[in-house]
Structure 1
Amino acid sequence: MDNSLTYHTFLDFPDHSFFSMGIIVPQKIYTALVPFQAQPSIAFVENGHMGVRLENALNNHFEALEDPASTPLVTDKSRVMYRVLWPGYEPWSDSSHIVDNSGLPISRARLAFSVARIVQKFMSDVRYVGSSELRPDWWVENVRYDALYLVELRHVSTGSWQPVLRLAF
């Protein structure tokens, strides 16, 4: 990803074939206030396509998720902050545990579940908040949760990750 960009877009991805199935939610990219060492993005692939359906993740349906048991390195902390910068809404964030009860990092499947829950909470929190977005297609009340996919998580600051989401057509 080119750090000079200000939005997540389909141009960030070398394989554009999955865009026949939707569009990247045009979130602004969160800008860290202090320098940090960025970690690689964590990609999610389901049925050979970029992105895991949030509804599947929320319902623990991971049969089609690639490498669900792997434990992607997120941080050495026990919690991370997830940041959502949805078009037309104030920046929103919430934190979640990224270690299990034994202190080990959570799996890719559990990470997808955690993000799915965070995005659902975001949508619930802002559903009745006015949007400054001129395009009503991006107003949260007009977006179906079951049409959203988690494409990847991007490390945007120390302890903070931003989900890149795809809206299916």
Structure 2
Amino acid sequence: MAQNPQNAQFHSFVDYLPDHPQGIVIPQPVYQAPPGTPFVPHQPIRFETDGGLGLPLQTALVQPIQGLHNAGTVFNLANGSNRHSIRILWPGYEPWNYPNALHTGPRTRAEIAHEVAGRVLAFHQGMVQAQGNEGDWTLQNSPFQNLYLIELRNVSKGSWQPVISRSV
């Protein structure tokens, strides 16, 4: 999926027109690998349910995941790295990286969603007491049960960034 050409350094709701994700997309800057790092990204992995684009992260914590479209579709996350980290660049908080967050090799969409949900929960629980400096985007204003996983983007060799939205 092409990113918004006017501001390609952010994951934004404009990226998803006309798909209309659940809630509003958290405006995370896109993680940038150090210059000169060779990298060919995998296609983003999207998460859709009967309600549309987006999987409630709370739902993804419980297996089997209910309502996830194409839950059994297999993805191979290998891209020359044995370590796959999850990066979250939530507005107003320090960049967060969870190393070895995803298993390498073939994984189903449901398995990936479950692993990512667990890492986002760890981020949320670890950072919710920190005082964010972005007003409406503070984690206190974004309870975990109101968060959706829209897609997972490969942002560098061995690094993936979840695109998250929050219900309004």
Q: What TM-score range do you get, normalising by the shorter chain?
A: 0.7 to 0.9
After TM superposition, the structure 1 = structure 2 runs for residues 2-151 of structure 1, keeping only pairs within 5 Å, are: 2=3, 5-18=8-21, 21-33=22-34, 34-47=37-50, 49-76=52-79, 77-95=81-99, 96-99=101-104, 105-133=106-134, 135=135, 137-151=136-150
Partner of residue 167, structure 1: 166
Separation (CA, whole Å) in 2 of partners of 1:60 and 1:168:
22
Superposed CA RMSD in Å reads: 1.8
How far 1:86 sits from its partner (Å)? Answer: 0.1
Comparing 111-120 with 21-30, greater Cα deviation is found at: 21-30
Specify the SS of the correspondent of 2:74.
coil
Listed as ranges, the gaps of 5+ residues in structure 1 are: none
Instruction: Report the TM-score, using the length of structure 1 for normalisation.
Output: 0.87
Separation (CA, whole Å) in 2 of partners of 1:129 and 1:48:
32
Letter in 1 for 2:147: L
Comparing 80-89 with 60-69, greater Cα deviation is found at: 60-69
Listed as ranges, the gaps of 5+ residues in structure 2 are: none
Instruction: Report the TM-score, using the length of structure 2 for normalisation.
Output: 0.87
Letter in 2 for 1:159: G
Letter in 1 for 2:103: I
Runs of 4+ in 1 over 6 A off after TM superposition: none
Letter in 2 for 1:62: I
Specify the SS of the correspondent of 2:166.
strand
How far 1:6 sits from its partner (Å)? Answer: 1.9
Separation (CA, whole Å) in 1 of partners of 2:133 and 2:66:
39
Comparing 149-158 with 71-80, greater Cα deviation is found at: 71-80
Q: Aligned residues, how many?
A: 161
How far 1:63 sits from its partner (Å)? Answer: 2.7
Specify the SS of the correspondent of 1:98.
coil
Letter in 2 for 1:64: G
Taking a change above 3 Å as real, the CA distance of residues 142 and 61 of structure 1, as seen in their structure-2 partners, is farther
